Amino acid sequence: MIEVVVFDLDGVIVDTEQVWDEVREELVHEGGGRWSPSAQAAMMGMSSTEWSRYMRDELGLADSPEQINDEVVPRMLVRYRKNLPLIDGAVAAVERLAAELRLAVASSSNRPLIEAVLEQAGIAERFETTVSSEEVARGKPAPDVYLEAARRLGVEATRCTAVEDSSNGLRAAAAAGMRVVALPNRRYPPEPDALALADVVLGSLDELSRELVGA
């Protein structure tokens, strides 16, 4: 029986993949690097350590990965404070499920960004734990961030349902052994083989219910 719903953040609670894209591209141009149209898709799901290294090695930035990370995160926070792009139905879905199930977040975002989003949205207290992929060994599509969320809550991963939007996220949740609910990202649709891993595919978060997550 499902006891926990684990939400991804970017693309599920907030529509921020485009914001990440804009901030990183801006930094690459400022630093004299070489932006690639495929860069955003490549970095989706990566931990901060992984995407900052990618920006140095693949996109040509001269700064260290630590310096790149320290440039990107504050810029993201500024964008969030100006306009937090909550996905329609996200807050209502969290409130609806929190009334009956335990909730967690397993995100590739840095911890300061996770906390900023949940606080601004007024839903931070609904989540028993939040995990950033910078806190585990590997980012998505590895299952580490999802397994860590289950470990912190003291439940088996098979008793959790993950809500995901991207190819790497869907692969990570499935690899962890969780039930998988897909909310396909409209700007960056998941690859067919990744989407096929989902137990349920949503058209919107209005459809997310206790029954649908398998509780």
Hey, what domains does the chain have and what are their CATH numbers? Answer: 4-15+85-207 (3.40.50.1000), 17-82 (1.10.150.240)
What size, in residues, is the chain? 215
Compute, in degrees rounded to 10, the torsion defined by CA atoms 18, 192, 93, 180.
Answer: -130
Residues 6+ apart with CB under 8 A from 93: 205, 206, 208
Per-residue pLDDT band at 35 (split at 50, 70, 90): very high
pLDDT given at position 101: 97
The side-by-side arrangement of strands in the sheet containing 4-7 is 129-132, 102-107, 4-7, 160-164, 179-182, 200-201
Compute, in degrees rounded to 10, the torsion defined by CA atoms 106, 148, 181, 42.
Answer: 60
Per-residue pLDDT band at 121 (split at 50, 70, 90): very high
Rounded average pLDDT over 5-28: 94
CA 115 to chain CA mean position, Å: 13
**Phi-psi group of 176: left, alpha or beta (phi > 0 → left; psi -120 to 50 → alpha; rest → beta):** alpha
pLDDT given at position 187: 84
CB distance 155 to 3 below 8 Å: yes
pLDDT given at position 169: 95
List pLDDT tens digits, range 52-108: 999 999 999 999 999 999 999 999 999 999 999 999 999 999 999 999 999 999 999
Rounded average pLDDT over 177-193: 94
CB distance 187 to 17 below 8 Å: yes
pLDDT given at position 17: 83
Structural element, H or E, at residue 31: none
DSSP state of 32: T
DSSP state of 10: B
List pLDDT tens digits, range 108-119: 999 999 999 999
Q: Radius of gyration over alpha carbons of the chain, in Å?
A: 16
CA dist., res. 33 & res. 103, Å (int)? 40
Range of 36-40, 158-162, 184-188 with top mean pLDDT: 158-162
Rounded average pLDDT over 175-202: 95
Q: For the chain, what is the mean pLDDT?
A: 95
Return contacts of 112-118, CB within 8 angstroms, 24+ apart. Answer: 112/73, 112/77, 113/9, 113/73, 113/76, 113/77, 113/80, 114/9, 116/77, 116/80, 116/81, 117/9, 117/13, 117/14, 117/80, 117/84, 118/13
pLDDT given at position 41: 82
pLDDT given at position 215: 62
Give the whole-number percent of the chain exceeding pLDDT 90: 89
